[in-house]
Amino acid sequence: MKKIELDIVALSHSVTQSHNYAVVLGELEGSRRLPIVIGGFEAQAIAVAMEGMTPNRPLTHDLFKNALETFDVELKEVIINNLLDGIFYARLICLKEGEVVEIDSRTSDALAMAVRFNCPIYTYEFILDAAGVILEEPEGATAKTPAPAAKGGGRKKREKGGGKGKSLTIKSLEELNKLLEQVLAEEDYERAAEIRDEIKRRETS
């Protein structure tokens, strides 16, 4: 069965399930998108790796990655291999001493591992036919794509995030860098992402 390579194009709050997030995967050679609803912990784990943040202590997925590398197991690819009753299934395709080993995984955990190993993500045509959507909006609007009920396993939405975000604009660059160190120490990665974005905006403006 032919594999179709995907990439993570968006990670956003789910518009259909208020306490979850949606990770949106897109075809590398096509316009279809595959939205998957995931939990808050898994969304945070994916976001931390995508943003290149280094926690003071390893998260669960970092620990698993370190364990695999310690025992010379390489994660070659992730395959979203099935969709049953609205739930996605995935497998980790690993290489150990030249032997291929497949490990069953929740899709959200598999994506968190794929980001850490920088390995390809694949699925099959029948899954895209069943749960994929055609991109009709500009690329930057993919975060607003409604997610179907299918689940893979987002960070919990911050109730006061908007107010805190506004306060960043009145801080100096030095204050922002100090605040970034502080929130990383507190393992508040969503707040850290907001601060990092503000720092980048200042540096590029």
Question: What predicted TM-score, i.e. pTM, was given to this entire model?
Answer: 0.68
Query: What is the per-residue pLDDT for 163?
Result: 37
Handedness of CA 141, 144, 146, 152 (dihedral sign): positive
Two tokens, residue 10: 């968006």
> Could you tell me the residue ranges of all domains in the chain?
3-144, 161-204
Closest by Cα among 25, 42, 16, 28 to 80: 25
Q: Spelled out in words, what is the top-level CATH class assigned to the domain 3-144?
A: alpha beta
Beta bridge partners of 168: none
Q: How many residues does the chain have?
A: 205
Contact criterion met (CB below 8 Å) for 53 and 189: yes
Query: What is the per-residue pLDDT for 170?
Result: 78
Closest by Cα among 122, 112, 10 to 65: 112
Termini Cα distance of the chain: 48
pLDDT digits (tens), the chain, 205 positions? 899 999 999 887 765 556 688 899 999 988 899 989 898 888 889 988 988 888 888 889 999 999 999 999 999 999 999 999 989 999 999 999 999 999 999 999 999 999 999 999 999 999 999 999 886 544 444 333 333 435 565 333 333 333 344 477 778 888 888 887 786 666 565 666 677 777 877 877 7
Query: What is the per-residue pLDDT for 124?
Result: 97
